[in-house]
Structure formats: C-alpha cells, structure tokens
Amino acid sequence: MRFPVPPEVVSLSKEITFINYRKEHGLELIQLWRKSFAQAMSIEEDTREEVVKEHLAYLQTYNPKIIRVALEKNKKKIVGFMAKEENTIKDLFIHVEYQRKGLGSRFINQAKAEEEFLTLSTFQLNKGAQQFYEFHDFVIARVGFAGVEGNAWASSKEQLADITYEWKRATKYLRKQS
C-alpha cells in the first residue's frame, strides 16, 4: 500500500540538504535524538546536563563517517540523522516537528540505494517505527531484548523488548523465452 504524497512533503524536499556529520553538530543532534526518542517511547525526556553529556560522549564513539545529517537550509537547523554502518542502520531519528513529512523515507531510500541488504532494530514499544519500517518493506527477522547498558531510561526488562528487521533488494528473475 502506498500513500499519496502530501504537499508539505514536496516543499520540504526543497528545504532539506543532506550533509556529513561534523563534531559541532553533536549537541544539537543529541537534543533532537533525545526528544524524538522520548516521544516515540512515550517517556519523559531526561534533560539533565550530566545525562546529555553522557549521551554526547556515546555519540563521539561513532565513526563520524557513518552519520548523515538532514539540515534545513533556511534555518540551519538539524532536522534528522541516520547512522548507517555498512548494511546496519544503527540509528534513524527525525525532529518531532518534521516527522511524517517524508524525511525518514528519504533516509531509508538513500540507504537502500547503497546496499543490497539492510538490518536495523527498534523497541517493541515504538509502534510508529514498526509501522514505518514495515511500510518500507522491512520484515521481522527476530525478536529479543536490548541490553541494559546504554538504556538507563528503561525501568523494566519488558521495555527493552526489541525487534530486528531486515530488508533485501528484490531480485527479478527473467524467464528465458523459448
């Protein structure tokens, strides 16, 4: 099932540019990440300085080359990012005010254009992400639990239940005409 493209998606595509991550994007990216994650998981955003600094330190463990940033040209504002390492999408977050406008789809389509196979994980509590990935032809490969490390927000094991999705490029077989 495909949905019609809303007019705001067309205008948004002209306003967004994709760039490579730079260290000076760190704090703004983390703030976007935390706000988007809190909304998706229906939890309160933890804005304490020490927690934000810890998350920033975690981001700095990533190879900057794997992070692609969506920047709104007029406002010079980060509106989304994707961290993709080889065929694994580690993170994909869109600013809460820019969700459901086609930006996440643009990131996914970029990743699909680069790879024959993709994998990613999302929490079972994140129903919006599940719908999004399934809409983009990702299928459930397995279910399990994320580790406690790096997930201090979770107060129970149930909150750490996750789903691993996979996508494979469709192969078209041509039948030989006899």
Question: What is the mean predicted confidence (pLDDT) over 129-156?
Answer: 88
Does a structural domain hold residue 177? no
3-state secondary structure the chain: CCCCCCHHHHHHHHHEEEEECCHHHHHHHHHHHHHHHHHHHCCCCCCCHHHHHHHHHHHCCCCHHHEEEEEECCCCEEEEEEEEECCEEEEEEECHHHCCCCHHHHHHHHHHHHCCEEEEEEECCCHHHHHHHHHCCCEEEEEEECCCCCCCCCCCHHHHEEEEEEEECCCCCCCCCC
- Tens of pLDDT, residue by residue over 116-137, are 999 999 999 999 999 999 999 9
Evaluate whether residue 85 is within a structural domain.
yes
- 165 has which bridge partners? 120, 140
| Domain membership flag for residue 134 | yes
CA angle 115, 170, 68 (to 5 degrees): 25
Percent of the chain predicted with pLDDT > 90: 72
In a domain, 174, yes or no: no
Residue 148 lies in a domain: yes
> Quick one: pLDDT at residue 13?
65
Does some domain include residue 2? no
Instruction: Kindly report the CATH number assigned to the domain that includes residue 72.
Output: 3.40.630.30
Residue range(s) defining the domain that contains residue 159? 7-168
Q: Give the pLDDT confidence of 54-98 residue by residue, as tens digits.
A: 999 999 999 999 999 999 988 889 999 999 999 999 999 999 999
Q: For residue 82, tell me if it sits in a domain.
A: yes
| Res. 34: pLDDT tops 60 | yes
Domain total of the chain: 1
Please check whether residue 113 lies inside any domain of the structure.
yes
